[in-house]
Chain A
Amino acid sequence: GAGVSQSPRYKVAKRGQDVALRCDPISGHVSLFWYQQALGQGPEFLTYFQNEAQLDKSGLPSDRFFAERPEGSVSTLKIQRTQQEDSAVYLCASSLAGTSEPSGANVLTFGAGSRLTVL
């Protein structure tokens, strides 16, 4: 598609439930980032993929968070045993650049986000 698509747009989960958030990046984009944006805050980095390789997961807040991109396109962020503090908007972004690309090519295109509310 023309842009980054995220689903679901809204998700309400009971505490302890597992959730899966999907990101469909722009076709051909090598890099894929996940960010978490709490209410009133800026986006916080969670994890980065270059094609199917997860090169950085330093921002994942706990081992309940897991992300994958098995075929180098669609990515899924999974949160197990959700807690109230997981409530946030989860943003996905993609770009053409990989580590071998000219730096000028790395401009992120963001999806509209998935708003997760944990009750």
Chain B
Amino acid sequence: AQSVTQPDIHITVSEGASLELRCNYSYGATPYLFWYVQSPGQGLQLLLKYFSGDTLVQGIKGFEAEFKRSQSSFNLRKPSVHWSDAAEYFCAVGAGSYQKVTFGTGTKLQVIP
């Protein structure tokens, strides 16, 4: 069975600073990888996804993520954080015949002025 680890529960960054959120997955083959964002009281919104091909994927809102097979990682990055990026971020892996999506426990991002 697949699993996802997000080692950072809470991260605080200054507005304008760069951001990297860590994600490690466990699965026997190459999985499908996702990052979702959840604002308070809202559902999950897809930021980006990796299925195959170029290991650096671009998403919405200026986010990108890099798939590193050797490290089983799929870290999320943004070069300059905006106050509106404050939210909870979930890494997820899809695998199996119907691509059951399994989520990590999330990283809560706080942005300070």
Q: How many residues of B contact A (CB 8 A)?
A: 25
Contact B90 A108 (CB under 8 A): no
CB-CB contacts below 8 Å: A57-112 with B = 91, 93, 97-99, 103-104, 106-112
Contact B44 A43 (CB under 8 A): yes
Q: How many residues of A contact B (CB 8 A)?
A: 28
Residues of A within 8 Å of B34, CB to CB, are 107
CB-CB contacts below 8 Å: B1-37 with A = 4, 6, 32, 34, 36
Q: List 19 A-B contacts (CB under 8 A).
A: A31-B98, A33-B100, A35-B103, A41-B105, A48-B100, A56-B98, A93-B44, A99-B97, A99-B98, A104-B51, A106-B32, A107-B34, A107-B49, A108-B46, A108-B101, A110-B43, A110-B44, A112-B41, A112-B42
Interface centre among A93, A98, A107 (most CB of B within 10 A): A107
Chain B contact residues, CB within 8 Å of chain A: 4, 6, 32, 34, 36, 41-46, 49, 51, 90, 94, 97-106
Contact A91 B98 (CB under 8 A): no
Question: How far, in Å, is B15 (CB) from chain A's closest CB?
Answer: 25
Contact B100 A103 (CB under 8 A): no
Interface centre among A4, A45, A98, A106 (most CB of B within 10 A): A106
- Given A91-B43, A106-B32, residue A41 in contact with residue B101 (CB < 8 A): no
Distance between Cα atoms of A50 and B106 in the complex (Å): 27
Contact B44 A103 (CB under 8 A): no
